[in-house]
Structure formats: C-alpha cells, structure tokens
Amino acid sequence: MDTCRLIYRSQCSDSFMPNEDLRRLMHESAENNRAAGITGLLILSGDAFLQVLEGPAEAVNKLFARIVRDARHHDIRLISYEQIGPTYFDDWDMHLVDLFDLSRHPRQYLAGKYRVENGVVQIPERLHEVYGLLLDAKAICTGRPWDEELGAPPEPPAAETAASVAAAPAKPDKD
C-alpha cells in the first residue's frame, strides 16, 4: 500500500464556524481518519488553514477531494503531495493547533521564526518553511521548545486539570 503526504493551505470562509464547532469537527475528523488510516495536523492562523494529511494514497486523495468541495474554506492551494516512507504525524488521527490560542511563550517562539502581520503568524510560502511550521506546531503540542530559547519559566504539565491550575496562587509575570 502506497503511503503519501499531502499538504495544502486555504482561507476560512466568511461564515466560518465558532471554535466549539471547529473542535467538534476535529473530533469527528479524527474518528473518520482513524478508520481510514489517515493521520495529520491542522493549523489555524488568523483566517488561514495549513493542513498535512498522511496515510494510504487512495484514502488521502478521497479526503482531499471532499476538502476541496467544503464551503467552509476557499482558495485551496496544494503545496505538496509525495509518496513517503516514514511519517511525521503517525501518532495523531488529527490534531488542531490554533496559533491564536497559544500562550505567550509559544507565540513568541513562532513569531521569532516566521513572518507575522498584525499579530498573526503567516503561513509560509517556501516548502521547507511550511514543513518547519508544521513540525514546530507538533513540537509545541508535545513539548515546549521555546523554554530553552527564551529562558521561559516552566509551565504546568498539560495533564494538570483546570481545577488544579485555577486553585494555584497566581504568579506575577516577570517578562
């Protein structure tokens, strides 16, 4: 079975859904992708999407055909399509990274590496930078690469509950 990686970018439509609906869509997409053997990552930055899909070529091609017809976005541009061996996103059925919702340290980390306009990280044009942004977004979700570069204080582990974080006394921001 041929495995492929497809990367595309698009713009949100004017009638784009609220974040709660987007998160519900991502949950449904993850279930559908799992059944089809597709993995990937979706980045939302301002009104732009950047998505990578990896999996069986036939399943990825069928999914992309549905994406192209989806009215929730437009100006869809295929960035890369290639047959691959090892995959980069095989541990995620689908994951959403909304760059606007990131905390200060990861936003600063990305702003130091990528072009920013009006406070929004721009989706890069060059393929190697697109790969860089996708892998940085994955690293942000699985670790904290900005700690070392920015000398940031440690943040609570992602596994902590909202209640335990809310119960902790507030620390003044030293930055």
Per residue in 72-124, pLDDT (tens digit) is 888 999 999 999 988 888 877 778 888 888 888 898 999 999 999 998 999 99
Per-residue model confidence (pLDDT) at position 1: 62
Residue 17 predicted with pLDDT over 70: no
Q: How far apart are the first and last CA of the chain?
A: 51
Whether 80 contacts 5, CB under 8 Å? yes
Q: What is the mean pLDDT of the chain?
A: 80
Stretch (H or E) spanning 148: helix 146-150
Angle (CA) 40 65 46, round 5°? 55
pLDDT digits (tens, 9 = 90+) for 45-56: 988 999 999 999
The more confidently predicted of residues 154 and 12 is 12
Identify whether the C-beta of residue 150 lies closer than 8 Å to the C-beta of residue 105: yes
Q: Report the side by side order of strands in the sheet with 95-98.
A: 73-83, 3-12, 48-56, 39-45, 95-98
Q: What angle do CA 130, 57, 94 make, to 5 degrees?
A: 55
Could you tell me which CATH number the domain at 3-152 has? Answer: 3.30.70.100
In the predicted structure, residue 64 carries a pLDDT above the cut 90: yes
pLDDT at 20 (0 to 100): 74
This prediction has a pTM of 0.77
Report whether pLDDT(144) > 70.
Answer: no
